[in-house]
């Protein structure tokens, strides 16, 4: 019997009688050799099976067929070309008698459909775009990072307050004449003084901000400070009493860290970081933002600053923007204080432009602005990266423009001068403003909690207040400032007339907040002392039993105490008569 009738021949499984149909690309089973070719089988396939039907023609042997025959102990001869066969044992082992065998010839790969081709192409393009975007973002970050200049100011500038707590950023505009086209502005050899100074306070909850301008002609004491030298060493620069604020930078090797210390000594507020710009930066930033809208109450033609502007609204950038910020003879009484007003109006307009939808939704404009800003700024090492500056910008960006208040430090003409050339802080109003900023009090009254606290504070101070000579208090130091109790007692006795105050040295333990413990029959004394020191309502701790005899109240200074004579918390409202303006309100310079 042949293989078909017996079911096997030479251990060959009938299931292995497969041929390839080249038109379909599939193997087809042919066990009935007397039948004709299956439909669609080509002439070559028919010839291939001729030997099996007794045809005298022989098929061309496959490559390697002789080697296979030798291995199997068979002679080469006329044979039909079929795929390699499988043993019966293998067929039985897998239990599938109709599975095509594995052969040396690869099964032709089906051609992908048009749809599949399109998907593969699209996927490849998308992968390229994603990788390209990632590389582009990396290169952009590296570029912005490389733009930034930094100055190491030691412990100052190392605080991580970008996302937690209130922020105090000192913005310094120098009169340094470096940069193309700036040599002709006079004093071209200037080392760069602190010409324009703004202490920018951002509230802890990011609902409001206060930008306080510090006059460059403010007479003050510049404290001793340390400056990092190019060789890595540290230079100690002695303090200088009774000089203009603007020389806190530049002269005698002072760096922005010295300006930060000077601000702290005046206000009791330690700046967390600084950002410094020069003449060139003003031109670059105003050009990058596409110009800044300004308004003049009258035509301006200043030959000294080369400022020429018509009455009404104009847009300035580059050289014209710098001329506007430099001029002292076009507005008011031609003083630095009037120039500060114009600078504040200009900065308010610039903030509105930066936060406008036209800027925020324009990628090209945003990149140009970011590139110019990082290239123009010099900052402390604490914020000296593109990532940190971006975080800082995002935090400031949370503040609504209507809740950004520009204010000038309250000052008066220097009484020690016959010819009025400098100013000094106005004692009461300046202290009140500093206290409001230290206690994170908004000048725009945006917080409900704050309003409630102010009401409580007002209620606390309602009622009779004892004469200072009748106030009896023991002072303890539970804060961070060495000798704070002694300096406070000295201030109370010499400045406030509280002669019955006693220095009790250090408290048993440190405390975060200042407290005043008093008896019910000492309430009038407590109200008087609270007003003198700016104690918040939360500091007042009234006992249940009346004091006896000469028993004194107990004042424990905490970490919130910044120095003798500095109010611990600010008043409910900003002092009357101080110069201030909101960033969302456009004004015409007069």
Pairing of strands 219-222, 194-202: unpaired
Which runs of consecutive H residues, i.e. helices, occur in 398-522? 427-438, 448-461, 484-491
User: Residue 489's beta-bridge partner residues?
Assistant: none
Is the separation of the CB atoms in 302 and 323 below 8 Å? yes
Asked which of 126-135, 296-305, 307-316 is least confident by mean pLDDT, the reply is 126-135
Q: What is the CATH number of domain 448-557?
A: 3.30.70
The two structure tokens encoding residue 419: 């010819």
Is the separation of the CB atoms in 556 and 511 below 8 Å? yes
The confidence band for 355, taking pLDDT boundaries of 50, 70 and 90, is: confident
Measure the CA dihedral 337/269/425/590, to 10°.
20
Asked which of 23-27, 137-141, 391-395, 450-454 is least confident by mean pLDDT, the reply is 450-454
- Distances in Å between the Cα of 440 and the Cα atoms of 188, 420, 578 are 40, 34, 18
| CATH 3.40.630.190 domain span(s) along the chain | 149-438
| CATH 3.30.70 domain span(s) along the chain | 448-557
535 vs 570: CA distance, rounded Å? 9
Nearest to 16 by CA among 27, 26, 1, 25: 27
DSSP state of 589: B
| Average model confidence (pLDDT) across the chain | 77
- Please report the pLDDT score of residue 156 as a whole number: 67
Query: Would you tell me how many other CB atoms lie within 10 Å of the CB of residue 414?
Result: 17
Nearest to 345 by CA among 420, 383, 384, 292: 292
Measure the CA dihedral 365/368/373/375, to 10°.
180
Is the separation of the CB atoms in 506 and 485 below 8 Å? yes
349 vs 291: CA distance, rounded Å? 10
pLDDT per position as a tens digit, 543-562:
999 999 899 999 999 988 88
Nearest to 401 by CA among 342, 325, 350: 350
The arrangement of secondary structure in 149-438, i.e. its CATH architecture, is 3-Layer(aba) Sandwich (3.40)
- Please report the pLDDT score of residue 23 as a whole number: 67
Give the pLDDT mean for 206-226. 94
Give the pLDDT mean for 431-439. 87
- Please report the pLDDT score of residue 108 as a whole number: 59
pLDDT per position as a tens digit, 317-343:
999 999 998 888 888 878 888 899 999
490 vs 563: CA distance, rounded Å? 12
Q: Give percent of the chain above pLDDT 70.
A: 69
The two structure tokens encoding residue 183: 């040599």
- Please report the pLDDT score of residue 71 as a whole number: 42
pLDDT per position as a tens digit, 109-157:
566 555 555 554 444 444 444 444 444 555 677 788 888 899 998 876 6
Give the pLDDT mean for 529-547. 88
Which runs of consecutive H residues, i.e. helices, occur in 85-180? 88-94, 114-147
Neighbour-count burial of 223, counting CB atoms closer than 10 A to its CB (0-12 exposed, 13-18 middle, 19+ buried) = middle
pLDDT per position as a tens digit, 250-267:
888 899 999 999 999 999
**Which one has a higher pLDDT value, 161 or 258?**
258
- Axis-axis angle for helices 386-397, 114-147 (nearest 10): 90
Is the separation of the CB atoms in 578 and 441 below 8 Å? no
The confidence band for 569, taking pLDDT boundaries of 50, 70 and 90, is: confident
């Amino acid at each position: 019997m042949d293989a078909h009738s017996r079911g096997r021949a030479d251990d060959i499984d009938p299931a292995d009688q497969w041929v390839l149909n080249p038109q379909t690309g599939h193997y087809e089973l042919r066990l009935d050799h007397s039948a004709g070719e299956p439909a669609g089988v080509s002439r070559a396939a028919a010839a291939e099976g001729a030997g099996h039907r007794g045809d005298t023609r022989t098929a061309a042997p496959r490559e390697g067929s002789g080697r296979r025959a030798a291995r199997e102990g068979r002679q080469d001869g006329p044979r039909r070309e079929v795929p390699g066969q499988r043993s019966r044992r293998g067929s039985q082992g897998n239990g599938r008698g109709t599975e095509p065998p594995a052969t040396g010839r690869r099964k032709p790969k089906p051609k992908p459909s048009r749809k599949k081709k399109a998907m593969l192409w699209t996927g490849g393009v998308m992968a390229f775009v994603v990788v390209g975007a990632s590389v582009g973002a990396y290169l952009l970050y590296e570029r912005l990072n490389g733009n930034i200049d930094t100055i190491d100011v030691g412990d100052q500038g190392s605080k991580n307050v970008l996302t937690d707590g209130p922020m105090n950023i000192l913005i310094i505009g120098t009169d340094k004449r470096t940069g193309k086209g700036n040599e002709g502005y006079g004093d071209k050899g200037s080392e760069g003084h602190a010409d324009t100074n703004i202490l920018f306070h951002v509230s802890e909850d990011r609902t409001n901000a206060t930008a306080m301008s510090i006059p460059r002609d403010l007479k003050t004491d510049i404290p001793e400070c340390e400056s990092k030298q190019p060789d890595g060493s540290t230079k100690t620069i002695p303090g200088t009493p009774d000089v203009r604020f603007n020389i806190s930078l530049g002269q005698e090797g002072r760096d922005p860290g010295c300006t930060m210390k000077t601000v702290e000594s005046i206000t009791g507020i330690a700046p967390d970081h600084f950002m410094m710009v020069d003449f060139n930066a003003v031109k670059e930033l105003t050009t990058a933002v596409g110009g800044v809208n300004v308004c003049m109450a009258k035509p301006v033609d200043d030959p000294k600053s080369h400022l020429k502007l018509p009455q009404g609204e104009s847009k300035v950038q580059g050289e014209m923007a710098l001329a506007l910020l430099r001029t002292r003879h076009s507005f008011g009484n031609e003083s630095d204080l009037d120039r500060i007003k114009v600078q504040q109006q200009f900065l308010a307009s610039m903030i509105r432009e930066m936060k406008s939808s036209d800027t925020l939704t324009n990628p090209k404009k945003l990149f140009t602005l970011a590139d110019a800003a990082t290239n123009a700024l010099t900052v402390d090492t604490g914020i000296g990266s593109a990532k940190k500056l971006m975080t800082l910008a995002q935090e400031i960006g949370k503040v609504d423009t209507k809740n950004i208040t520009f204010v000038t430090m309250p000052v008066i003409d220097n009484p020690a001068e016959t010819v009025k050339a400098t100013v000094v802080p106005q004692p009461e109003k300046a202290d009140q403003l500093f206290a409001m900023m230290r206690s994170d009090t908004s000048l725009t009254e945006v917080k409900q909690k704050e309003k409630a606290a102010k009401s409580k504070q007002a209620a606390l101070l309602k009622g009779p207040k004892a004469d200072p000579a009748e106030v009896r208090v023991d002072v303890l130091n539970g804060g961070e400032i060495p000798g704070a109790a002694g300096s406070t007692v000295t201030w109370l006795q010499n400045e406030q007339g509280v002669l019955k105050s006693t220095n009790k040295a250090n408290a048993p333990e440190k405390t975060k907040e200042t407290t005043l413990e008093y008896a019910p029959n000492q309430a009038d004394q407590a109200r008087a002392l609270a007003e003198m020191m700016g104690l918040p309502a939360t500091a007042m701790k009234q006992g249940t039993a009346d004091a006896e005899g000469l028993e004194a109240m107990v004042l424990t200074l905490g970490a919130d105490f910044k120095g003798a004579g500095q109010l611990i918390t600010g008043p409910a409202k900003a002092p009357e008569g101080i110069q201030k303006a909101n960033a969302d309100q456009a004004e015409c310079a007069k």
